[in-house]
Chains A and B, each alone.
Chain A
């Protein structure tokens, strides 16, 4: 019997040699290419001072220190060393500093807060509305709507039972509706690409699901036949929902040739139960790219790590199980100081971003490439540091030439917390949503603490809308 692993072995390429041949992409979009959004967040805070270009003028350094508003062109400056992987992407890059997020849960763990802009915690009742990634997914529909990948935490106050399984993620589909994320490349592969499964087990599973949905849709439709009005809709809505999943599966079936061409080419180590965190990130990146390039989804949320993620595979620390919480408290790992470990972690994240951009740039779309219509957000899940208060929430944004936010190529520091012109995470997401057609007046909760400064928190950041 051929199983998935054997199938993959047949066309194995090591991760370092991975790459999807652009010519295989058969689903080049029409005149209105969909916009794509990738949200990558990390735990343990993102220290704002580490994002400042090393070549700032003395005057700007002083402003940076005092957290006063200023703006410079990245082209005129050197990126911090750990961002080296992105040196060639400065024109497409924004470093955005000075947003606050005190309306979010802050501190160690924040659950859906950084994407939903509310105080989320483990209780589902705290999920007030769909997180921003799901709002964007509604604007750019796709067969899967949205996928979420995660290097789940296994320790701390937010640990998942099975970091290799499908567990509650960090996005929310709607009020009190958590999303579910794939914890390992293996499970993501099995679930997302089951429609083109080559191994017997995968084929059987897909076939059984197909029959079950067909049965359930028929059975519920039958029930509604002799009903009218609201009573009919009580069962017909359900039948229609089942039908819509079947329709989604039919679409995926219809895309089978394309999906098959873009099945991630990963070697065995990426499917191992004891996969390292670094390899997990690499594997998830390949899944993410395949899902986007094949057109299965236009929006991906990716938990690169969380405070409770036990890190393995960090360069020069391959034999260490690094506890991010300890690092947050300044403890060294191996022979490296905490700050150096943080830098290693971030550096690897940058290489992930570089992989994504490079790959998307290699896929032609319309007169350009897929990257042209893509925005990638890299940010902390809890704000400015390990025990965060949400006074700062730094972002690195990578965006193609056709995106609707006018910030590329800049280092932007916004007015600090409490000062006139200060902006919040809610303002930032409102800007993105407004730019792409969601007219929402304000996305996210307000920060009651800001009201005493007389700051009107509602709305977008107008200057970013171009």
Chain B
């Protein structure tokens, strides 16, 4: 078996220029001096380290020269060169001059790429962390004026708002709408404001708009006819809004052509439904022309629908527009207009358009100051209903319900940040897990869906408490497993089952359940949580034996079963083993007991279910030891120390690893007697690889205490044909291979705190130290900034980040305090046009 890893070779780039490269003096002179002082020793024609030669820049073609200069600029910016081990290092001022010289040359050709790169996901950490939190940056925060593509969730809410749906009606299935938006599947912030509309979006929107417009006018076109008599174009799509907007209904019902004012009213109504604003005079004029022509060509109804569709195709329906208005301040910044601000606030707290009070505040000039913003944000945090919803409806399936929260968007930041929902994308070979791992399939999201839901509950639990949120999520020993009802409801079920078992355990329920049923019929039928009420005596008798067998396996051994019986329709709880807990019975285990040839079971030790949750699980500490996170950051058939280490480096240490050189496609060798860690080290310990891998492997190796299913282990199964010992005797079970002790020692570096950096015994120790790290806390805040601002931070956002960090500390670790701080910051409130 070959495992593929992208092993980052170091992309060695240094600086050296020959004079003709630079046209702009004196930047060239300064740059040249620095080249000769710091770069030539490694990157001239003699040494050419990393295959980079810079002393012949003037001889290169313009394209090649600019490409190399861009690399030089990036390395200068990141302080990656000269290597830290070199004694001869440039001062900050010298670096600045070199950067300015290279930038000037690139700008001359309009060829600089770094600025754009810094706006992309994955490059946020390029901004110097110490400087960002130093308090020395004086530049005023702002966000570039922009359009921000709506998220998939906001899009759905916007469509519901077109129909003015409220309450339970908002839950309708939008049958004819294909959500044109998809967030990238990755661990990290996914919704950035640099995405653009494209042809794929348009194709979806063309059919979406026709469906929506058709529904908008449906009631009027059918003249409020009896629902049962209407002939639906699609019998499976019978929903339509009860009322067609009056202005549309008027035109549809008219025998003659509508008047100009009637058409204007319809255009205004559609702008209000779709764009939530009045059309401008110019828009009104254009749309009036279109509507008139349409009605002339195709009649009232069809012509009107054409106008409705066209408004729905406006790009504004698909973007959040944030350009600011008013006179720019001395730094060239404009404050968001009150209307823009109302949307920006609302979409930060949920997926819905602003509520009536926020809209009113904007209209009445009460959304201008920080105090105004703070008042509205706090009010909306107090409102437990407006944004209430599921964290992730796509997880739902038979008997699986997504966690509902008053402000699910809070949890969505943590989902993006930790990236555990990506577990859905990692396909596993079920027999390797003894058949317990079920991959997502048609009937549901199966094991990863369950694990993700349970990770969501931890996030929800600590967000609800809103104290030391980061530390708690990182270090909690409390987990939710199978917990489908609260302790009180679960306790009642178990109590009833126990009493039932105690009452009947000494009867002949095994051999003569029919008699036992007859003798206890009234009692049995009175049980709320034991479903034995059928009139089919043979059937209920068998079922009585099934219940009693189940109870006997649990209560008979002094342990508690899970509160849903394993033969329940659609039962999909099979994942306790991924927490390294004992298994629970399979759905078919008790089908056999009524078979006359049944000779008893294989002995199995089942999990003693804790009704009260969360509960402590051994060898686990926080979300990074949750199986959902571990699976999401694993390969199909092995762990992934590189991916796990990279995650820690980027997400908790605000660090970065250079881009993987495109020439690298290294493979971990097959070497049967060795563990994955050993095999990985054999290829990444080479000097050119280690320069990058030293930033990942020591962090990720500590997680080798868990296998790729997230199970705690002290031995690694060496799954290679050469190590084969025996075939499994279980159906769908795992074959037996030789094992080797796991080495989960690692090293933490990069916290900036000597008391925390250093070698660790395993992931649990590393996590404890990370939770104490200022750097880790600030790194999470940087990522939260990206989530709420839809962009990477810039140095000018320094004050915003410092304020958010302070808000967290002063509030004893409230995440909401961070959000309030962000939403009242200059970064959030001000826009600046970038040319």
Contacts and interface: CB of A to CB of B under 8 A. Distances in A.
B721 A454 contact: yes
B286 A177 contact: no
Contact of B233 (A162, A235, A446, A452): A162
A230 B118 CA distance: 14
B298 A448 contact: no
Nearest to A110: B442
B146 A231 contact: yes
Interface string B386-402: 00000000100000000
Nearest to A245: B202
Contacts of A421: none
A445 B427 contact: yes
A242 B200 CA distance: 11
Contacts of A216: 310, 313-314
A237 B319 CA distance: 13
Nearest to B283: A219
Contacts of B303: 208
B725 interface: no
Interface in A226-248: 228-231, 233-235, 237-238, 241-242, 244-245
Interface stretch (B191-199, B242-250, B362-370): B191-199
A109 interface: yes
B794 to A, nearest CB: 15
B234 to A, nearest CB: 4
Contact of A105 (B116, B237, B441): B441
A238 B637 CA distance: 42
A234 B315 CA distance: 9
Contacts of A109: 442
B233 A122 contact: no
A212 B298 contact: no
Interface string B280-318: 000000100010011001100011001001100111000
Nearest to A178: B178
B298 A208 contact: yes
Interface in A73-111: 105, 107, 109
A76 B404 CA distance: 67
B765 to A, nearest CB: 33
Interface string A121-146: 11111100000000000000000000
A161 B237 contact: yes
A123 B196 contact: no
A227 to B, nearest CB: 9
B394 A123 contact: yes
A161 B236 contact: yes
Interface string B318-331: 01000000000000
Contacts of A126: 440
B429 interface: yes
Interface residues of A, number: 56
Contacts of A34: none
A204 interface: yes
A180 interface: yes
Contacts of B236: 159-162
Interface string A146-180: 00000000000101111001100000011111101
A162 B306 contact: no
B784 to A, nearest CB: 23
B440 A162 contact: no
A449 interface: yes
A165 B394 CA distance: 27
Nearest to B719: A452
Interface string A442-466: 0001101101101010000000000
A229 B149 CA distance: 16
A336 interface: no
Contacts of B200: 173-174, 177
B257 interface: no
B315 to A, nearest CB: 5
B636 interface: yes
A252 to B, nearest CB: 16
A234 B293 CA distance: 29
B309 A212 contact: yes
Contact of B429 (A165, A212, A451): A451
Given A177-B204, A219-B286, A241 B198 contact: yes
Contacts of B441: 105, 119, 121
Contact of B319 (A178, A228, A233, A234): A234
B147 A241 contact: no
A223 interface: yes
A281 B201 CA distance: 31
B394 A212 contact: no
A326 interface: no
A448 B637 contact: yes
Contacts, number: 129
A157 B236 CA distance: 14
A220 interface: yes
Nearest to B835: A228
A237 B442 CA distance: 36
A215 interface: yes
A211 interface: yes
Contacts of B199: 241, 244
A253 interface: no
Contacts of B203: 173
Contact of A211 (B146, B197, B293): B293
A75 to B, nearest CB: 41
Nearest to A233: B196
B153 interface: no
Interface string B377-415: 000000000000000001000000000000000000000
A162 B297 contact: no
B306 A208 contact: yes
B700 to A, nearest CB: 23
Given A109-B442, A157-B442, A451-B429, A241 B202 contact: yes
A212 B394 CA distance: 35
A177 B298 CA distance: 32
Given A208-B302, A238-B197, A451-B637, A220 B429 contact: no
B558 interface: no
Contacts of A124: 178-179
A125 B182 CA distance: 9
Interface string B422-438: 00100111000000000
B439 interface: yes
B153 to A, nearest CB: 14
A237 B201 CA distance: 10
A121 B637 contact: no
B202 A242 contact: yes
Contacts of B424: 125
A202 to B, nearest CB: 12
A419 interface: no
B660 interface: no
A3 interface: no
Given A126-B440, A212-B306, 20 more contacts: A105-B441, A124-B179, A162-B236, A165-B233, A204-B297, A208-B297, A212-B313, A215-B286, A220-B315, A230-B116, A230-B119, A233-B196, A235-B147, A237-B196, A238-B201, A238-B202, A242-B202, A242-B313, A448-B637, A451-B429
24 contacts: A105-B441, A109-B442, A126-B440, A162-B234, A162-B235, A173-B200, A173-B203, A177-B178, A177-B204, A180-B207, A204-B298, A211-B294, A211-B297, A216-B314, A231-B147, A235-B147, A237-B196, A237-B197, A238-B196, A238-B201, A244-B199, A245-B202, A445-B427, A454-B721
Interface of A: 105, 107, 109, 119, 121-126, 157, 159-162, 165-166, 173-178, 180, 204-205, 207-208, 211-212, 215-216, 219-220, 223, 228-231, 233-235, 237-238, 241-242, 244-245, 445-446, 448-449, 451-452, 454, 456
The 5 closest A-B pairs by CB, nearest first: A161-B236, A241-B199, A238-B197, A121-B442, A162-B234
Interface of B: 1-2, 116, 119, 145-147, 149, 175, 178-179, 182, 194, 196-204, 206-207, 233-237, 286, 290, 293-294, 297-298, 302-303, 306, 309-310, 313-315, 319, 394, 424, 427-429, 439-442, 636-637, 721, 834-835
